[in-house]
């Protein structure tokens, strides 16, 4: 059976189109790469009244694998030794991780949202306040902007002590 040239083109398109769609879908599911060192940009940030002011330089260090992301900070101030925080590590599979300590329970979840362009982290600490279990919740959404040169962290905190506060922290890649 001899195929016409027009029919050959249609068949080729029908065979190639699903392959292109699979490649596109696979690329769309790859999460944003937040890895690197990021310097806090105080001038571009919008801090809440509960955010702690630090006069020196703050470097956010992000390490990311296919299954986890970790965050630590380095604090630098002229005339003082640098100091670092321990790394907060999250699995990015969306499953809740629960840890219990003498002061309460911490539940944390990290999930890629918006086709992997943003990372949403929710941490809920439950502690007894005047003998009543009380939730202290923080939701952070990490987004890359400016062609991956800027990391924006939108923060929503809710608790019975300070109420609901919002802030936006901006970091520049270094």
**Statement to judge: residues 52 and 138 lie in one domain:** yes
Report the CATH number that the domain containing residue 36 is assigned in CATH: 2.40.128.20
Which of 14-23, 130-139, 140-149, 156-165 shows the lowest mean pLDDT across its residues?
14-23
pLDDT digits (tens, 9 = 90+) for 30-49: 899 999 999 999 999 999 98
Q: Which residue do the tokens 């699903």 mark?
A: 18
The Cα 155–Cα 62 span in angstroms is 17
pLDDT of residue 5: 63
Percent of the chain clearing pLDDT 90 (strictly above)? 72
**Statement to judge: residues 71 and 9 lie in one domain:** no
pLDDT digits (tens, 9 = 90+) for 95-108: 999 999 998 999 99
The total number of structural domains that make up the chain: 2
Contact 150, 168 (CB under 8 A): no
Q: Tell me which residue range forms the domain holding 9.
A: 1-30
**Statement to judge: residues 94 and 138 lie in one domain:** yes
**Statement to judge: residues 15 and 78 lie in one domain:** no
95: left (phi over 0), alpha (psi -120 to 50) or beta: beta
**Statement to judge: residues 167 and 82 lie in one domain:** yes
């Amino acid at each position: 059976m001899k195929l016409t040239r027009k029919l050959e083109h249609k068949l080729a398109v029908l065979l190639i189109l699903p392959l292109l769609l699979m490649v596109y879908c696979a690329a769309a599911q790859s999460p944003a790469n937040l890895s690197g060192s990021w310097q806090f940009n105080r001038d571009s940030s919008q801090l809440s009244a509960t955010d702690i002011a630090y006069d020196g330089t703050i470097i956010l260090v992000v390490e990311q694998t296919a299954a986890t992301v970790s965050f630590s900070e380095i604090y630098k101030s002229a005339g003082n030794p640098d100091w670092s925080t321990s790394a907060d590590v999250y699995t990015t599979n969306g499953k809740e991780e629960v840890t219990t300590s003498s002061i309460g329970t911490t539940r944390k979840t990290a999930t890629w949202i918006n086709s992997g362009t943003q990372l949403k982290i929710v941490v809920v600490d439950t502690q007894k306040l005047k003998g009543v279990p009380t939730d202290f919740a923080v939701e952070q959404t990490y987004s890359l902007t400016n062609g991956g040169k800027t990391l924006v962290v939108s923060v929503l905190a809710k608790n019975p002590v300070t109420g609901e506060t919002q802030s936006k922290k901006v970091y520049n890649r270094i």
